[in-house]
Amino acid sequence: MIEKNSVFLTMSELMPIVRERLEEGQTVTLTVKGVSMQPFLTNDRDSIFLISAKDRKPSVGDLYMFRRDNGSFAMHRICAVNADGSLNFVGDNQLLVEKNITPEMLWAYVPAVIRNGRKIDCEKGFWRNKMTCRMKFRLRHPDFIRRMPVIKWYLTAPFCHPLRSLRWVCKRLGGKHYAQNKKVMEKTEE
């Protein structure tokens, strides 16, 4: 529900305010818009914490908000740090790498996100490792991911119920394997 005193701003109106708050040392929270970071971040469901990108050494797997040459903003994951100090970024749901982003183009670092009311640390732990490995695999094997719908589904929806996941994969493969596994699943569900 929209509050009575809500104000809606475009990104071009909002970002100077965000920049000002970050320079003051404050943390800013924004709701995620777009699908480029799925499955880690979902449109209109998740929120990100932003802190100043100053005095941070960027490394592979870090999430940063940056401003592109055309003036638009993006929040993506670093996939490579180049020898000249420039960075390559890619969204978790993309194969197109944005190359040669300079450190001056970085606006904010994302140390944590909020998913369904739960804070997830992006600096260490399970989610950082999982999404960094997923990104590296997708960049090294893009044809494999495009040609294998079962594998693509498995990599983008890893936390579904295991029996339902197995049922879906078996059904997708079809044939006698599905019938055999259906009997096994019915017995284990009882």
CATH code, domain with 129: 2.10.109.10
Between residues 52 and 9, which one has the greater pLDDT? 52
First and final C-alpha spacing in the chain: 41
The verdict on residue 177 lying in a domain is: no
The candidate with the shortest Cα–Cα distance to 189, out of 158, 166, 155, 172, is: 166
Confidence band of 172 (pLDDT split at 50, 70, 90): low
Asked whether the predicted pLDDT for residue 122 surpasses 80, the reply is: yes
Burial of 66 (0-12, 13-18, 19+ CB in 10 A): buried
Give me the residue label for tokens 């579904």. 160
At 58, the pLDDT band (50, 70, 90 cuts) reads very high
**Is 27 part of a structural domain of the chain?**
yes
The pLDDT assigned to 51 comes to 94
Q: Residue 7 has what pLDDT? A: 73
> Omega into 142 within 30° of 0, i.e. cis?
no
pLDDT digits (tens, 9 = 90+) for 3-42: 556 677 777 788 889 989 999 999 999 988 888 888 888 8
| Residue 159 placed within a domain | no
Residue 165: inside a domain = no
Residue 47 CA to residue 43 CA, distance in Å, equals 9
Residue with more model confidence, 149 or 98 = 98
Is there a domain that residue 145 lies in? no
Whether residue 146 is contained in a domain is answered as no
Share of the chain above pLDDT 70, in %: 71
Number of domains in the chain: 1
Domain containing 100: what range? 11-140
Asked whether residue 172 is assigned to any structural domain, the reply reads no
83 in a domain, yes or no?
yes
